[in-house]
């Protein structure tokens, strides 16, 4: 028998169980096992080895195989932890901050008041939400034909598509552009994206050099300002004039052009004002772009949500000699904001922007393609009868809700408002003499906390004068009615 082996197994098993000699002796005494102190010491020093009975006892107590004749590996002795001479210094935990690229980027449509609204909802408080232009939750449903077409094509849209988009989708977009008179758009000038949002970012990244100035409306849909800034450019805001039905102030636009200006953005129909730009105004904007050799970027996502028998004119149709990019999509017209499908059409004098088109193509390739199932319904959506028309005729839901909200606001003391012609937004003003609003966000929060009504203040749309806010009039009439009752009541006592 290899005595050393037994001694090693015993000492390793004791160390592993954290038992000292005294502990083993005590256990033996408790269990009536004869085991003396010197006997145990001799086992551990390897001088003697135990009889079979003692070996079995020790093996059982230590739950280890101590028999040196068995095949089992002895229990390894635990590696003793190194004892530091002095206390170790614990390095400070590394923290991760957002990129400084986002320092001047803001997107307050989903800002802090929304967090407060969510907190209130968690407490069981029902919030009247007039803050977000998302049709589906308000009962505006996607046309059945569109849903059926997506379902039947799901199996065929599992793979990536061409980075620009499916042929059939782009063909339908090209034909739509032809109907709108947008000149010189070929299949290769159309790019689909995961919503217009995706493409605003993509085009800004491809186009903007550090220090470039881009003329953006104020108020604007704030993603434009955010994406210009994120791309390293400077969003220079030209004013839209409330006194002129929120049309762009052309003198202000002219005055804001500098040698660094690269492009003019227009949002037509407009979010947040609901303004629709007449042909004469568009012609003047084209002239400003022409004289200053600027690109025209036109966001027309609401072009099928036009009321009062008015017609939407696409600015690119008036500028065949300029480089234009028109942004459009199905989020609003087909109530499929969640499916994420939008597109750009590059038109006009494309020779002016060959390099930029290469950049756009590169950016498009880098994201491989946009959501293919959503692309698969573009042809169905743009062809045939446009069911969105049912909403915007005088008897339609959007139009009736607009009229109701407009009339209610007009009847409120100290509130003035321009009647929107398109989209589903209205942008009222609170009389500064009566309400003295100096802090838009405070107004938003106070209205939320007092009356459970959630709106977005003008500041969220890069509109600097306090006392303006946007209402989305998509909720059903009963909800709008309740929210407006609450607002009316609030304005009876609220002052800043």
Would you say 329 or 460 has its CB closer to ligand PLP? 329
Q: Indicate the helix (H) or strand (E) that contains 470.
A: strand 469-472
CB 305, CB 337: distance < 8 Å: no
- Neighbour count for residue 285 (Cβ, 10 Å): 24
* Rounded-to-integer distance, Cα 365 and Cα 293, Å: 28
DSSP-derived letter for residue 313 is: -
- Neighbour count for residue 151 (Cβ, 10 Å): 11
HSE toward the beta carbon, residue 444, CA cutoff 13 A: 28
Strands 261-267 and 213-218: parallel
Length of the chain: 496
What ranges in 72-166 are assigned the alpha helix state H?
112-122, 144-153
The residue number with the shortest CB distance to ligand PLP is 195
Would you say 10 or 166 has its CB closer to ligand PLP? 166
The distance of closest approach from Cβ of residue 105 to ligand PLP in the complex, given in angstroms and rounded to an integer, is: 16
Would you say 117 or 202 has its CB closer to ligand PLP? 202
Would you say 249 or 303 has its CB closer to ligand PLP? 303
The distance of closest approach from Cβ of residue 117 to ligand PLP in the complex, given in angstroms and rounded to an integer, is: 18
* Rounded-to-integer distance, Cα 131 and Cα 119, Å: 16
Q: Which tokens is 107 given?
A: 């997107």
Strands 295-299 and 261-267: parallel
The distance of closest approach from Cβ of residue 96 to ligand PLP in the complex, given in angstroms and rounded to an integer, is: 28
CB 102, CB 426: distance < 8 Å: no
The distance of closest approach from Cβ of residue 107 to ligand PLP in the complex, given in angstroms and rounded to an integer, is: 11
Would you say 335 or 356 has its CB closer to ligand PLP? 335
The distance of closest approach from Cβ of residue 245 to ligand PLP in the complex, given in angstroms and rounded to an integer, is: 18
The distance of closest approach from Cβ of residue 109 to ligand PLP in the complex, given in angstroms and rounded to an integer, is: 8
The distance of closest approach from Cβ of residue 302 to ligand PLP in the complex, given in angstroms and rounded to an integer, is: 7
The distance of closest approach from Cβ of residue 440 to ligand PLP in the complex, given in angstroms and rounded to an integer, is: 19
The distance of closest approach from Cβ of residue 198 to ligand PLP in the complex, given in angstroms and rounded to an integer, is: 7
Task: List Cα–Cα distances, 77 to 158, 265, 341, 380, 400, in angstroms.
Answer: 57, 74, 65, 74, 83
User: By the criterion CB under 6 A, which residues form the site for ligand PLP?
Assistant: 133, 195-197, 221, 267, 271, 299, 301, 329, 331, 337, 342
Would you say 49 or 328 has its CB closer to ligand PLP? 328
* Rounded-to-integer distance, Cα 337 and Cα 329, Å: 9
Would you say 275 or 319 has its CB closer to ligand PLP? 275
* Rounded-to-integer distance, Cα 95 and Cα 180, Å: 52
Q: Indicate the helix (H) or strand (E) that contains 175.
A: helix 167-179
Q: Which DSSP string corresponds to 245-260? A: TTEE-HHHHHHT--TT
Would you say 16 or 134 has its CB closer to ligand PLP? 134
Would you say 62 or 240 has its CB closer to ligand PLP? 240
């Amino acid at each position: 028998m290899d005595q050393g082996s037994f001694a090693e197994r015993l000492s390793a098993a004791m160390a592993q169980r954290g038992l000292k000699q005294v502990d083993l002796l005590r256990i033996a005494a408790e269990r009536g096992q004869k085991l003396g102190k010197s006997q145990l010491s001799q086992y551990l020093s390897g001088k003697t080895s135990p009889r079979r009975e003692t070996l079995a006892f020790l093996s059982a107590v230590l739950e280890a195989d101590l028999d040196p004749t068995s095949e089992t590996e002895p229990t390894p002795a635990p590696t003793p932890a190194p004892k530091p001479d002095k206390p170790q210094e614990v390095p400070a935990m590394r923290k991760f901050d957002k990129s400084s690229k986002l320092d001047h980027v803001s997107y307050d449509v989903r800002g802090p008041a929304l967090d407060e609204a969510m907190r209130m909802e968690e407490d069981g408080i029902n919030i009247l939400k007039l803050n977000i232009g998302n049709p589906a939750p308000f009962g505006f449903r996607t046309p059945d034909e569109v849903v059926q077409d997506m379902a039947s094509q799901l199996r065929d849209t599992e793979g990536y598509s061409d980075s620009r988009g499916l042929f059939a989708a782009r063909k339908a977009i090209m034909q739509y552009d032809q109907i709108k008179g947008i000149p010189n758009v070929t299949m290769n000038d159309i790019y689909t994206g995961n919503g217009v949002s995706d493409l605003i970012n993509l085009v800004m990244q491809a186009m903007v050099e550090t220090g470039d100035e881009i003329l953006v409306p104020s108020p604007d849909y704030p993603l434009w300002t955010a994406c210009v800034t994120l791309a390293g450019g400077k969003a220079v805001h030209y004013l839209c004039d409330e006194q002129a039905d929120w049309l762009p102030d052309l003198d202000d636009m002219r005055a804001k052009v500098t040698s660094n200006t690269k492009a003019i953005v227009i949002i037509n129909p407009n979010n947040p004002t609901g303004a629709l730009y007449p042909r004469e105004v568009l012609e003047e904007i084209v002239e400003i772009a022409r004289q200053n050799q600027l690109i025209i970027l036109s966001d027309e996502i609401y072009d099928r949500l036009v009321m009062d028998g008015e017609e939407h004119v696409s600015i690119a149709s008036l500028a065949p000699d300029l480089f234009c990019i028109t942004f459009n999509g199905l989020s609003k017209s087909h109530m499929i904001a969640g499916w994420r499908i939008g597109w750009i059409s590059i038109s006009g004098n494309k020779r002016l922007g060959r390099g930029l088109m290469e950049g756009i193509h590169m950016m498009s390739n880098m994201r491989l393609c946009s959501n293919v199932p959503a692309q698969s319904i573009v042809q169905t959506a743009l062809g045939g009868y446009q069911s969105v028309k049912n909403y915007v005729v005088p008897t339609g839901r959007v139009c009736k809700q607009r009229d109701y909200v407009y009339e209610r606001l007009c009847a409120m003391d100290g509130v003035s408002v321009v009647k929107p012609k398109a989209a589903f937004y209205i942008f009222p003003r609170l009389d500064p003499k009566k309400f003295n609003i100096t802090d838009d966000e405070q107004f938003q929060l106070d209205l939320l906390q007092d009356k459970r009504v959630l709106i977005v203040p003008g500041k969220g749309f890069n509109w600097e004068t306090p006392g303006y806010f946007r209402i989305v009039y998509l909720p059903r009439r009963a909800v709008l009615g309740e929210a407006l009752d609450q607002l009316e009541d609030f304005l009876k006592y609220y002052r800043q």
